[in-house]
Amino acid sequence: MIPYGKQNITDKDIATVVDVLKSDFITQGPRVQQFEQAIADYCQAQHVVAANSATSALHIACQALNLQQGDWLWTSPISFVASANCGRYCGAQVDFVDIDATTVNICPQKLANKLDIAEREGKLPKVLVVVHMAGLSCDMQAISKLAKRYKFAIIEDASHAIGGQYQGKPVGNCQYSDISIFSFHPVKIITTAEGGVAVTNNTELARKMRLYASHGVTRDQENFQNGIYEPWYYEQQYLGQNYRMTELQGALGISQLDRIDDIIEQRNLLATRYQKALSGLPLCWQQPQSDSLSAYHLFIIRLDDNAKLNRSELFHALRAQNIGVNVHYIPIHTQPDYQRLGFKPGDFPAAEYYYQGALSLPLYPELTNEAFEHIVTTLRALLCDSTSE
């Protein structure tokens, strides 16, 4: 089966990890700090806090923003559940903003309308998690204008988007947000097996996130509250977790980040090849805004309503040909755990409409020409002349 995503591991990556295994520190050593600095440099941002997943990074981001019971977190219904669950870990209530059909990202106009109503009802969000779906940045300038007017914080869930650009600058530079999150799960752009980071230009948010990722414990005497200054002394200042990244992961991350520009170039080339090879079929795909470069974590096609095959039929037909297509994502509000909170199908029509036709095609730098040709030939055979009269 051709997978929809696959990690890219070189001999150098392996050697780097082996070096760490032979060294004094396999956790809490220098590599993670070096990886944090490398990400900060790459994204042109000031602070980076590593974590053992993007899910953990989203959680510490919400904690640092002091999200708590009685607060609201809003996000996109078209994302992995982690983008919403982070609010619930903090006891906050979660709501969604429907997507724009062309970008598959949160629609700024729908956000503005929803904020207007929420203001009148006294239910404005404290935190908005925007999701750069498949690697394509949201319209951050428009969204940050709304954040200033309605006074909410922005977390960019850029799990898909490291290496992407918005207005000619790296996604994750936090120009229009408080915190950005990246994921390094193996299907993502670069990997640390499991892993994630939170990026910010705010020193205090960085300090808090670092504490929350490590039990809420500090050894920094300058910030001690109990007035005890002994060499063994540490203080727990918040109720945190152990979300630390290991040195093995840090070293792998540094090695992977070294070739990210090549990876992004290859992903963009493949996306362009798909667009050319599939033109004329009853399909559409995400339309990048002119001022952005997608990292192309995913290449998602959406079947037109007039295609003879529906998404389920196409999914099964492609899988039968060993093409490991996937679906990103089932609208979060339709999950049983969210329906129990009162959400129901029909609440976010654009997201649900998108989901009915969405299919992610295999996309990763090592996708061979042979595999690519097999995918597009099979799609053409299944969909050509399959438009109903």
Query: Is the separation of the CB atoms in 51 and 253 below 8 Å?
Result: no
- Smallest gap from residue 77 Cβ to ligand PLP (A): 12
Residue 194: Cβ within 10 Å count: 18
Region of 22-30, 80-88, 137-145, 337-345 interacting with ligand PLP (CB under 6 A): 80-88
Nearest to 72 by CA among 82, 59, 62: 62
Of 20, 50, 54, 325, the one binding ligand PLP (CB under 6 A) is 54
Question: Would you count residue 82 as binding ligand PLP (CB under 6 A)?
Answer: yes
Question: Would you count residue 157 as binding ligand PLP (CB under 6 A)?
Answer: yes
What is d(CA 269, CA 264) in angstroms, rounded to the nearest whole number?
A: 9
Question: Would you count residue 83 as binding ligand PLP (CB under 6 A)?
Answer: yes
Region of 118-126, 157-165, 285-293, 308-316 interacting with ligand PLP (CB under 6 A): 157-165
Region of 101-109, 155-163, 254-262, 360-368 interacting with ligand PLP (CB under 6 A): 155-163
- The count of C-alpha atoms lying within 13 angstroms of the C-alpha of 270, restricted to the half-sphere facing its C-beta, is 30
In the stretch 188-207, what mask flags binding to ligand PLP with x, by CB under 6 A? --------x-----------
The DSSP-derived string for 188-231 is: SSS--SS-EEEEES-HHHHHHHHHHTBTTEE--GGG-SS----T
Question: Does residue 302 sit in helix, strand or coil?
Answer: strand
Query: Is the separation of the CB atoms in 192 and 36 below 8 Å?
Result: no
Of 106, 131, 263, 307, the one binding ligand PLP (CB under 6 A) is 131
- Smallest gap from residue 132 Cβ to ligand PLP (A): 8
- Total chain residues near ligand PLP (CB under 6 A): 14
* Residues 247-306 close enough to bind ligand PLP by CB under 6 A: none
As a whole number of angstroms, the longest Cα–Cα distance in the chain is 81
- Across-strand partners of 217? 236
Question: Would you count residue 104 as binding ligand PLP (CB under 6 A)?
Answer: no
The DSSP-derived string for 133-186 is: GGGPPP-HHHHHHHHHHHT-EEEEE-TT-TT-EETTEETTS-TT-SEEEEE--T
Instruction: State how far the alpha carbon of 163 is from the alpha carbons of 100, 171, 299, in Å.
Output: 23, 7, 15
Of 7, 16, 63, 79, the one binding ligand PLP (CB under 6 A) is 79
Question: Would you count residue 80 as binding ligand PLP (CB under 6 A)?
Answer: yes
Question: Would you count residue 156 as binding ligand PLP (CB under 6 A)?
Answer: no
Of 7, 53, 75, 292, the one binding ligand PLP (CB under 6 A) is 53
The DSSP-derived string for 245-263 is: PBHHHHHHHHHHHTTHHHH
Nearest to ligand PLP of 55, 218 (CB atom): 55
Region of 4-12, 38-46, 154-162, 250-258 interacting with ligand PLP (CB under 6 A): 154-162
* Sites of contact with ligand PLP (CB under 6 A): 53-55, 79-80, 82-83, 131, 157, 159-160, 183, 185, 196
